[in-house]
Structure 1
């Protein structure tokens, strides 16, 4: 159950959709999430009312094509799967949205099963063994 937030500078709705598809397809292909497990927040920044800041840290030259991808998911994926995920996101962002791989900045934050409620006020991945008192 990854939760994804994508922030892109000067991105119209079509580009945001393409970036969302790129990240989702990469998650399906590399770590095996179900195809219908798509929960994303897609945000375009216009550079005036909202913007993104970036630098050339670690020798990677970024420009106005910058895309920040923040993925929150349950812990347990091996480092090689995460590396494959980052690589595939960059490949698909180029193929779907024309985004240069050098402009794809990805972070993964991991948490535990009890940290998720997918609706109805329940922790579906970590159900309680105790009955819930009503009233």
Structure 2
């Protein structure tokens, strides 16, 4: 179950925020096989001056409209899957929300089931075992 924190310029319209969430979600479903019902994305706006970034780091020409995505998920995806995920997110955000691909900044935090509680204050691994998944 990935958990996404999406940071957008504060003046990003609600419809664009929704399109960004949908684009990220569809990329996760298509590229890493995430189940479609695992949608958890917290969107926050940042005001001018609240996010400082290099406009030219690593040879990428960024605008002042950078969308930052922090994706926390269980470890185990290959580098090829991650490459496909990043490309799909950039493509979807450009197509669905008009975000320039150069303005999509993504980073992953990987962890294990033992690092999650997703309801009732229960250890997520217990929930997985209840469903009969290998543990």
Q: Normalising by structure 2, report the TM-score.
A: 0.88
Normalized per residue, the structure richer in helix is 2
Matches for 1:38-77 after TM superposition, within 5 Å: 38-47=39-48, 51-55=50-54, 56-77=56-77
Q: Aligned residue for 1:83?
A: 83
Which whole-Å deviations, capped at 9, do the CAs of 1:66-102 have from their partners, x for residues lacking one?
1000000000000000000000000000011000101
Which whole-Å deviations, capped at 9, do the CAs of 1:88-124 have from their partners, x for residues lacking one?
0000000110001010000011001110101101112
Contact 1:12–1:44 (Cα < 8 Å) also in 2? no
Rg (Cα) greater in structure: 1
* Number of corresponding residues: 126
Post-superposition, which runs of at least 4 consecutive aligned residues in structure 1 deviate over 2 A? 124-127
Q: Does residue 1:109 correspond to 2:109, yes or no?
A: yes
Pair 1:126–1:113, CA change in 2 (3 A): farther
